[in-house]
Structure 1
Amino acid sequence: MSATQATDVIQDMQATSIDLSVVVPAYNEEERLGPTLDAIVGYLREHEGRFGEWEVVVVDDGSTDGTRDIVAAVTARDRRVQLLTSPRNRGKGHALRLGVLASYGRRVLITDADLAAPIEELEALEKALADGHPAAIGSRSAPGATIERHQSHLRELLGRAGNLLIRGIAVPGIRDTQCGFKLFDGDRAREAFTGSRLSGWGIDVEILQHFRRSGWPVTEVPVRWAHQSGSKVRPLDYLRVLAELAGLKIRSVRPADLLAVAVFLLMSVGLYSGRWADPGHRYLPDSLQDQNQWEWFFAVTADNVAHLRNPLFTTLQGFPDGVNLMANTVMLGLTVPLTPVTLFLGPAVTLALVMTLGLAATAFGWYRLIVKRVVRHRGAAFTGAALAAFAPPMVSHANAHPNFTVLFMIPLLIERALRLCSGTRVVRDGVVLGLMAAYQVFLGEEPLLLASLGMALFAAAYGVVRRDVAKKAWQPLLKGLAIGAAVCLPLVALPLYWQFFGPQSYKSVLHGDNAGNSPLALLSFAERSLVAGNEVTANALSLNPTEQNAFYGWPLVALAFAITVRLWDRPLVKALAFTALAAAFLSLGPRFRIPLSQTTLPGPWALLADKPLFESVIEGRVAMICAPALGMLLAVAIERLLRTPNIANQFIGLTAVAAALIPILPAPLKTVERAEVPAFIADGTWKSYVGKDETLVPIPLPDSGNAEALHWQTATGLKFSVPGGYFNGPYGSDRIGIYTAQPRYTSSMLRDVSFTGVAPTIGKNWRAQARVDFAYWKAGALVLAPQPYQDQLRQAVDALVGRPGKWVGGVWVWDLHG
């Protein structure tokens, strides 16, 4: 061994024998650093029996005063005090990183040059590490802390506000992130600082985040603290910390994640490409009348907000009884904050934005959940998320139901519930879960109910196959759910009371005796599947084009079965397979017919069909739960395939995946030229026929089968009210929910004529009833636009009113004023 090598070995042995390293960052500290170093060195000399071998590392961060000379003088007296220098000032974070990485101690104390927390407080921090904590923070805010000398009131107030922001956003649960007196396990500190990137004040938070992510518990220890004059930390520096952390978050985003966002957005834009060609004049025909309805929802909410009216109610439809907006899927969580967009760009553009961006955001939400909880491979996660968000049922609902496609909160809710199971921050996670659930209520209650059902199915299956995990998780999970409920319920109590007991509330919605899926629907292909789409089959097996709730295709079902069999040893696979199978089975409804036979069997949905909340669910929609479950199964299988060294197996497996997914790739949604708003409405001629407190009555009255009058309203800025409409409202003494206003004799007769072309004989009884109904509606004018059976409708209205209508601005008009 050479002399040089021997020297190195001796130095390494000396370095590894150091018990405590004290790191002091300094910038222009010639006035305060001398007493600080004297206090530190004196204390450590007196307590060498307690703290063992020690070193002090002072990092001069490019000072322009005599800071280095001060350190040199102390080093001359005790060589255990070392000086590191930086050629220029680069910030506290850079200085700390240099000092910690140059340290050798089994424990590392970092302290500011002003020694605002006395060195004697090291004893309390050292005890915390001896108790098993890898990090102990000297805290000015923990119970038992003593502040001997305060800052100015304004400075202290701004500092607390800044620290509160940091705690809430970056390091929840830690009261005092910025106190410069911290003791760490040496090896873990060096690992954390090696991976750090910030050079400013945000380094403290970055290091604490590293400890949290690594599962290393951090404890706060109350200390004595005194404000020192000449402090370099200003209250506004807390905002700089937040800016640094935001920049760090942005820089840490992986290119693969950005690519996933871009592709999801392209997929969503492609799906709605026909609408985006001209949002104001293109219509999704497969939405039936729902596009008119949803644009009206956005418009009426914006109108209520702009005029400071109750956003939960309106009489613009269903006059004079009105519409309980909370009892309809108005999505107040989006329609309210997007009011400015609706007012400036119009509801057609707002709806197109929500459906396009919301679908892409939902896909990315599933992607992040799968990356965090299921697989690490980004490509596998992307494929699974794409299936979860763009599966055939989702594409079907993308025509008309943003509440079933804008589901970005659902993956976040699942992730937060999974965090509860770990039991680490139950209170915080429970509060966040409650806030998320409250927001989802204002996005869609039925999707939240279905998501809860899916999570319950998964939890039950996973609990059976991993009883050890369930045993540890059930208590913190239930506690967190209780906290979440306690947070959520007060926030939604008044809106839900209005929904279930307010004006125009109802008990349940009639959607047929059996709206479940046929077993064949689960194996067949949807109308808008690009390669294998079959409009005739899909329509025969579904309620309508917006309710094709299954249609995963037999190749994907076969692949899912193969994945389950091949990876049956994995508990996650078992739980996901059970969730998908159980959801598919429930979606068959209260009874179902065995294909190719006349045999009818009771379905499991019969157990839930008459239960509160479930009674209004279209049971076929339960099959939508299968989409994320199948997506996660697919992600697990793809990651397993990509890790397989056998190229032949990879090729066969990925070919099977492609064969299952290609047939169900979504085609762009169909669009047509939108019906023009009649000139009578568009140019404002209607104003001379309808008084301030009167309504305009379309013939027939608008309902779920013909809601074009809602488009007339939005085109005029909701300047007139209409009786009838397309919304959920009560019917009869039992207040059963129907998809329009409660019918009257005249409205029912006109609706029958519009469907059959046959009008009854209009005599004085019909005319008398019509006068009663017109008075109830406060009708100013009746308006008949061109449509099938318009001649029969015009003759019937002529007879009811007692005089012929006039052709004005492209419509027939009956002025009821004379």
Structure 2
Amino acid sequence: MGRPPGAARVVTSPNPTSAAAGTSDPAVDLTVVVPAYNEEDRLRPTLDAIREHLNADPDRWGSWELIVVDDGSTDGTARIAREVAAEEPRIHVIDSAGPNKGKGHALRTGVLASYGRRVLLTDADLATPIEELDRLDEQLGAGAGAGAGAGAGAAIGSRAHPDSRIDVHQRPLREWLGRLGNRLIRAVAVPGIRDTQCGFKLFDGDKARAAFADARLRGWGIDVEILSFFRRAGWPITEVPVRWSHRAGSKVRAVDYAKVLLELLRLKARGVRRADLAVTGLFLLASVLLYKNLWWDLDHGYLADSMQDQNQWEWFFAVTADNISHLRNPLFTTLQGHPDGVNLMANTVMLGLSAPLTPVTLLLGPTVTWALVLTLGLTATACAWYWLIVRWLVHDRRAAAVGAALCAYAPPMISHGTAHPNFLVLCMIPVIVDRALRLCEGRRVVRDGVLLGLFATYQIFLGEEPLLLAAVGMLLFALSYALARPEAARAAWRPLLRGIGIAAAVALPLVAFPLWWQFSGPQSYTSVLHGDNAGNSPRAFLEFSGRSLLGQDFRADALAMNRTEQNAFYGWPLIGLAAIIVVRLSRLAVVRALAATAFAAGLLSLGPRMRIPFTDVVLTGPWKWLADKPLFESVIESRMAMICAPALGMLVALAVDRLNRAAVREYRAVGLAAVVVALLPITPTPYPVRERPDVPAFIADGTYRDHLRPGESLVPVPLPDPGDAEALHWQSATGLGFPVPGGYFNGPWGPERTGIYGAAPRHTSSLLRDVRYGKPLPPIGPNWRAQARRDLAYWRAGVVVLAPQDNEEALYAAVVKLLGRPGERIGGVWVWDLHGTGDG
């Protein structure tokens, strides 16, 4: 089946599968495949450079062939390729008849027409110089000699390798978008490979032909498809550092990374409609744009409005990964709140995500996990609502997409997207709602009940409070729908209750121990108090949030607890549109039930006492009868308004569906314009990011280890708390090598074990906190020093560390007086080693 290496050829439209079973020709040592589309200006220099390099060392490269695949070029690419082939018989041209079919098609055609023992793929622009082939060849040769039966696989010229050299960079925005797209592709398909879209790869020839024969993608995604094939086959893939330069006129654009993701999704879900894929892609794009500032610089970016929550959540991800990797109890740790520890089940650690994402956290760090959870969690939530609306409410994909976008990207959700992924990743809620609706049909009660129990169990490990809010919303809707359609309620209540009983029987054994640990285990607490002003103002429903297109921070800040709790803020245009929809479609029972659900949830969110705006009139709200009940006593009541988001989203979906089917064009145009006017003001804007402080060198370089003995804690000054938890970043960014007293978590306080944020305060921690925020230092005498010794002994302190911060001089003076000696400047911080001093 061989071919004389000196025989030139020009092929038209070969059958890509004809060589699927082919193997290498012993007479051909190397095949170089160059896909070309409208490369008239760059092709000849590229071919000349490849030919010159291979001829310069014939002993190394032996016999070779170069295949140029012209992929439907409309310029002189094919002519130039044929001219060069006429000069060099080892250069062959494949003319792909017809229009451009995509890079994947061209690569598959070229590889399946190859005979080389090794196959090099290179782009026509030679962004990676052909001389870098030497490095790839050495690495592939090393793989072939490594034993283990795997042999050589693939060597990738990786721009992202830390030892690679970029001679000419792309524009910063394009480079950032490329990195972001690459990270998403890695997360979805080939984790662990830095550069999935490199155009310079060297393969074992037979393995390459097998992989490309199996490939189906015609576009840019084929690179990932081939690498995934190699991974499944167990063939080694090595990334090799190379030189790389951006070439003007490059065919690869940042948007092509999104195309790759869509191609991969399409490959894995052939039965999914194109409209569904398009909607998914749009939701992903929206989520990426919202978090683009965070993705831009994961090393130093910090969501500006998250207060200390990003530090806390990264620590949660890190400590879960650390517990799992060391086979420790994932429900408890003493790395915060030392020595008492933290009941992790009683905190929002999202074990349902933090546990399975352990490999990501260990390999890429907790900040990457944090960014992935936010970005992909928001996307998954939008997709889940879209799926639910299509299945149960409307069949018009456009209407469902608009409604799902409002469900997932409504202002309350975006507010929590700053700091609370447990209220952002709500993709299981639509799945639970769907299963409850199936139970009402009474067809497969046992199966649906079992699945409902499993889904509810998983949601408990994502977030218990969102599940409680969802249950309240579902109950409100069920009661409202039962009043609107009593005959439907009579038919549904028996299978529904039976299914819920089955779900409880499935879920309770699975969650019994974790819930016991949460409510009765070490460092458990009874309830968390949030104060008397945790309800919404009625005005909050009509205003715009700070993260909305027409929102203003100073107006929203006055109506919310903080920027992570802007739990209403739907804006007066949307509230007005919802009222019109309810009036126009009131004949539909589902519309009346959705309206009643939204109204009741909004009323509950006002709290136990409702103040009429611009008056001194205060009314008793219905929340008063829930505020002290189990489970509800720890809920921030303003969050009840989050139930309104899916209700409003579904009302809008119904309206858009009716408008799209309206016979009168003018009526349809006016109605859709009203929807745009209502939604545009609350369109979310990208999250702002601030520069996060660097970890002090004393921590980052591990010097602290010289000052700690086993079981001892490092005491930051002041101790970490909900107002300043930067010490948690020190821990999570450096491998959790030391415990700290204090912290940012929910724990018990006092004989009643009331839940508070942070560790129970001690005299010394309170003193240092007061000094940090500007209070004068009281006279420090023997009593204060004795108390400091007791507190340090309680914390099992080995070293005290004061990092640069506001009021650093006053804090330094306080510690000097408490410990009776000056600190030592080490690694950018003040250090007091407590060993042998009588302070510990």
Could you say whether these structures have the same fold, taking a TM-score greater than 0.5 normalized by the shorter chain as the test?
A: yes
CA distance in structure 1 between the aligned counterparts of 2:442 and 2:298, rounded to whole angstroms:
48
Q: What are the Cα deviations for residues 780-810 of structure 1, in whole angstroms up to 9, with x where unaligned?
A: 1111111111111111110000001122111
The CA deviation at 1:247 is 11
Aligned equivalent of 1:613:
631
The residue identity in structure 2 corresponding to 1:590 is P
Q: Secondary structure at the match of 2:831?
A: strand
Aligned equivalent of 1:756:
774
Q: Secondary structure at the match of 1:813?
A: strand
1:271 maps onto 2:306 in alignment: no
Aligned residues: CA RMSD: 1.2
Q: Secondary structure at the match of 1:251?
A: coil
The residue identity in structure 1 corresponding to 2:358 is T
1:422 to 438, 441, 450: 441
Aligned equivalent of 2:718:
700
1:311 maps onto 2:327 in alignment: no
1:676 to 694, 702, 709: 694
Q: Secondary structure at the match of 1:786?
A: coil
The CA deviation at 1:756 is 2.4
CA distance in structure 1 between the aligned counterparts of 2:767 and 2:623, rounded to whole angstroms:
37
The residue identity in structure 2 corresponding to 1:603 is G
Aligned equivalent of 1:816:
834
1:16-165 aligned within 5 A: none
Q: Secondary structure at the match of 2:269?
A: helix
Aligned equivalent of 1:490:
509
CA distance in structure 1 between the aligned counterparts of 2:269 and 2:740, rounded to whole angstroms:
50
The CA deviation at 1:365 is 0.1
Q: What are the Cα deviations for residues 571-620 of structure 1, in whole angstroms up to 9, with x where unaligned?
A: 01000000111111100011121011111111111110000000000000
The residue identity in structure 2 corresponding to 1:499 is Q
Q: Secondary structure at the match of 1:573?
A: helix
1:747 to 765, 768, 781: 765
1:480 maps onto 2:508 in alignment: no
Q: Secondary structure at the match of 2:474?
A: helix
1:577 to 585, 589, 595: 595
1:773 maps onto 2:791 in alignment: yes
* Distance change >3 Å, CA 536–CA 807, structure 1 → 2: same
2:309 to 273, 279, 290: 290
CA distance in structure 1 between the aligned counterparts of 2:439 and 2:667, rounded to whole angstroms:
38
The residue identity in structure 2 corresponding to 1:618 is I
* Distance change >3 Å, CA 815–CA 271, structure 1 → 2: same
CA distance in structure 2 between the aligned counterparts of 1:584 and 1:556, rounded to whole angstroms:
14
1:405 maps onto 2:421 in alignment: no
CA distance in structure 1 between the aligned counterparts of 2:298 and 2:437, rounded to whole angstroms:
40
The CA deviation at 1:250 is 2.9
CA distance in structure 2 between the aligned counterparts of 1:422 and 1:681, rounded to whole angstroms:
59
2:372 to 337, 348, 353: 353
Q: Secondary structure at the match of 1:730?
A: strand
CA distance in structure 2 between the aligned counterparts of 1:759 and 1:267, rounded to whole angstroms:
50
Q: Secondary structure at the match of 1:287?
A: coil
1:255 maps onto 2:274 in alignment: yes
CA contact (8 A) 1:528 1:666 kept: yes
1:558 maps onto 2:583 in alignment: no
CA distance in structure 2 between the aligned counterparts of 1:759 and 1:664, rounded to whole angstroms:
47
CA distance in structure 1 between the aligned counterparts of 2:271 and 2:719, rounded to whole angstroms:
56
Aligned equivalent of 1:546:
564
The residue identity in structure 2 corresponding to 1:352 is A
CA distance in structure 2 between the aligned counterparts of 1:389 and 1:400, rounded to whole angstroms:
16
The residue identity in structure 1 corresponding to 2:317 is F
Aligned equivalent of 2:483:
464
Q: Secondary structure at the match of 1:781?
A: strand
The CA deviation at 1:249 is 8.8
The residue identity in structure 1 corresponding to 2:410 is A
Q: Secondary structure at the match of 1:783?
A: strand
CA distance in structure 2 between the aligned counterparts of 1:405 and 1:247, rounded to whole angstroms:
26
2:645 to 618, 627, 634: 627
Aligned equivalent of 2:145:
none
CA contact (8 A) 1:689 1:780 kept: yes
Aligned equivalent of 1:130:
none
The CA deviation at 1:811 is 1.1
1:640 maps onto 2:658 in alignment: yes
CA distance in structure 1 between the aligned counterparts of 2:809 and 2:270, rounded to whole angstroms:
67
Aligned residues: 572
Larger Rg: 1
The residue identity in structure 2 corresponding to 1:783 is V
CA distance in structure 1 between the aligned counterparts of 2:271 and 2:745, rounded to whole angstroms:
46
The residue identity in structure 2 corresponding to 1:682 is A
CA contact (8 A) 1:753 1:759 kept: yes
Q: Secondary structure at the match of 2:740?
A: coil
The residue identity in structure 2 corresponding to 1:575 is A
Q: What are the Cα deviations for residues 28-83 of structure 1, in whole angstroms up to 9, with x where unaligned?
A: xxxxxxxxxxxxxxxxxxxxxxxxxxxxxxxxxxxxxxxxxxxxxxxxxxxxxxxx
Q: Secondary structure at the match of 2:380?
A: helix
The CA deviation at 1:488 is 0.4
Q: Secondary structure at the match of 1:439?
A: helix
Q: Secondary structure at the match of 1:381?
A: helix
The residue identity in structure 1 corresponding to 2:485 is R
* Distance change >3 Å, CA 248–CA 710, structure 1 → 2: closer
Q: Secondary structure at the match of 1:286?
A: coil
1:690 maps onto 2:708 in alignment: yes
Q: Secondary structure at the match of 2:592?
A: helix
1:359-398 aligned within 5 A: 359-398=378-417
The CA deviation at 1:248 is 11
CA contact (8 A) 1:304 1:310 kept: yes
CA distance in structure 2 between the aligned counterparts of 1:605 and 1:389, rounded to whole angstroms:
25
CA contact (8 A) 1:514 1:590 kept: no
CA distance in structure 1 between the aligned counterparts of 2:467 and 2:567, rounded to whole angstroms:
17
The residue identity in structure 1 corresponding to 2:406 is L
Aligned equivalent of 2:160:
none
The residue identity in structure 1 corresponding to 2:391 is K
Aligned equivalent of 1:596:
614
CA distance in structure 2 between the aligned counterparts of 1:465 and 1:551, rounded to whole angstroms:
29
Aligned equivalent of 1:794:
812
TM-score normalised according to structure 2 size: 0.68
The CA deviation at 1:252 is 2.1
CA distance in structure 2 between the aligned counterparts of 1:728 and 1:529, rounded to whole angstroms:
30
Deviates most, 615-624 or 686-695: 686-695
Aligned equivalent of 2:734:
716
The residue identity in structure 2 corresponding to 1:552 is Y
1:527 maps onto 2:554 in alignment: no
Q: Unaligned 5+ residue runs, structure 2? A: 1-264
The residue identity in structure 1 corresponding to 2:505 is A
The CA deviation at 1:563 is 0.3
CA contact (8 A) 1:757 1:792 kept: no
2:347 to 310, 324, 328: 328
Q: What are the Cα deviations for residues 737-776 of structure 1, in whole angstroms up to 9, with x where unaligned?
A: 0110111111111111111241111110000000000001
The CA deviation at 1:281 is 1.5
Aligned equivalent of 1:25:
none
The CA deviation at 1:691 is 1.4
Aligned equivalent of 2:671:
653
TM-score normalised according to structure 1 size: 0.69
The residue identity in structure 2 corresponding to 1:525 is F
Q: What are the Cα deviations for residues 260-297 of structure 1, in whole angstroms up to 9, with x where unaligned?
A: 11000000001100010021220002000000000000
Q: Unaligned 5+ residue runs, structure 1? A: 1-245
